[in-house]
Amino acid sequence: MDFRTLPTGDFTLANITVPSCLIGQEGDLTRTDLGITNGKIGANDGPVIDMKGAMVVPCFVDAHTHLDKGHTLPRASNPDGSFMGALNAVKADHTNWHGEDVRARADFAISCAYAHGTRAIRTHLDAGEEQDERSWPVFSELREKWAGKVDLQGSSLCAIDKYEMAGRFGRTADLVAEHGGVLGTVTYPMDGIKDLLRQFFDHAVKRGLEVDFHVDETMDPTSETLRDICEVILETGFDRPVQVGHLCSLSTQDEARAMDTLDLVAKAGVNVVSLPMCNMYLQDRHAGRTPRGRGVTLVHEMKARGIPVSFASDNTRDPFYAYGDLDMVEVLREATRIGHLDHSAPDWIKAFTTKPAEACGFDPVSLQDGAPADLILFKARNWTEFMPRPQSDRIVLRKGQQIDRTLPDYSDLDHLFES
């Protein structure tokens, strides 16, 4: 049977290869059969298809993205590839972020993610200059449009001192609550940071919100706001889920200090998301100088301490990252190379599926009986066949049915860039 076509209705995928950790077994990969019945995983009497060892994984969860920034590169390029260059380019482009502009670009990005096999996305939404008033209604429209295909979560994004915590930030927090989102902010070293964090958490407590931080996205070893966040969590007893992303400065700190910080992260019960592609693009960039540092956080040391670790796409085709397509297969392949996930524990696939789902509170990701048959099928029969190629011929099943994986054309966005 042609790998690219599968029957409709109930059937069984025989002789497939799955990550052992996703079916509760020891080891790396396991050969098994998987039935699909009424859109869910389960035995049936339908046709049996010999998949000849093809790999099968559940659809991915992308726990840290920026749908509102995505695909702005044609009109908002980064002049030097630096972090400050990206910040300034985005700030200047905010004047273009009216409702239809954000809607078209975000919808394009979600279409790509869906075609690649992602079933859930958390996106950050800029709040600066009252952009949140424009973006959150658009986000809610898109969440409704994509319901049943891609589950969407939104998280606010602004520097922790951008608005007065007793002033305009309250409006941001109200918008987040109104639209069923997550309260987010960016932290960096500054006087009074712990007092601002206490006020930030107080806003979250009053509205029953989960929180998400951009943290220490720098190679400066003195940037330790991760410690501040964890200490305030422990001091206040904040008990809603907390996710922190980036944590680049850990990679440049004294080993003992970094490990002590990770012990604090574990104690505070914080979830971590690593963004290796974007961090390598921005960090340690200097004109005419080869980068020395990767900017990738300490995922192996975190995992050893039981800290939940996820990997995600971050930015796509915007000033912060000129590449990407919200393809979690690309993130998996690149994270494996960048973070040396190979020659390690064989369950890193959880960092792209079950871990981000748990951290963000999305529906569980599973290959167990009764779970939705939201699956990705690859011709590759093992990781050594999977990693070298982009797996462009993958099959994506949603509720057991093969979807159209045609990607939107970049020309669909041309009208946004016409002067």
* Residue among 369, 371, 380, 378 at smallest CA distance from 398: 371
- In angstroms, the CA 50 to CA 52 distance is 6
Q: How many other C-beta atoms are found inside a 10 Å radius of the C-beta of residue 144?
A: 9
Could you identify the residue written with the tokens 């002590």?
260
Number of H helices, E strands in the chain: 12, 16
| 63 DSSP 8-state letter | E
Identify the active-site residue in 130, 210, 217, 255: 217
The residues, any chain, with a CB within 8 Å of residue 179's CB and separated by 6 or more, are: 136, 137, 139, 140, 154
Q: By the 8 A CB rule, do 119 and 403 touch?
A: no
Residues in the chain: 419
User: Long-range CB contacts (< 8 A, 24+ apart) of 135-141?
Assistant: 135/68, 135/97, 135/102, 136/175, 136/176, 136/178, 136/179, 136/181, 137/99, 137/179, 138/99, 138/102, 138/103, 138/106, 139/67, 139/68, 139/106, 139/179, 139/181, 140/179, 140/180, 141/103
- Bridge partners of 11, per DSSP, are 36
Q: By the 8 A CB rule, do 11 and 48 touch?
A: yes
Q: Is 217 a catalytic residue?
A: yes
Q: By the 8 A CB rule, do 408 and 44 touch?
A: no
Q: Which phi-psi region, left, alpha or beta, contains residue 245 (left: φ > 0; alpha: ψ -120 to 50)? A: beta
Q: Which phi-psi region, left, alpha or beta, contains residue 296 (left: φ > 0; alpha: ψ -120 to 50)? A: beta
Give me the active site residues, please. 217
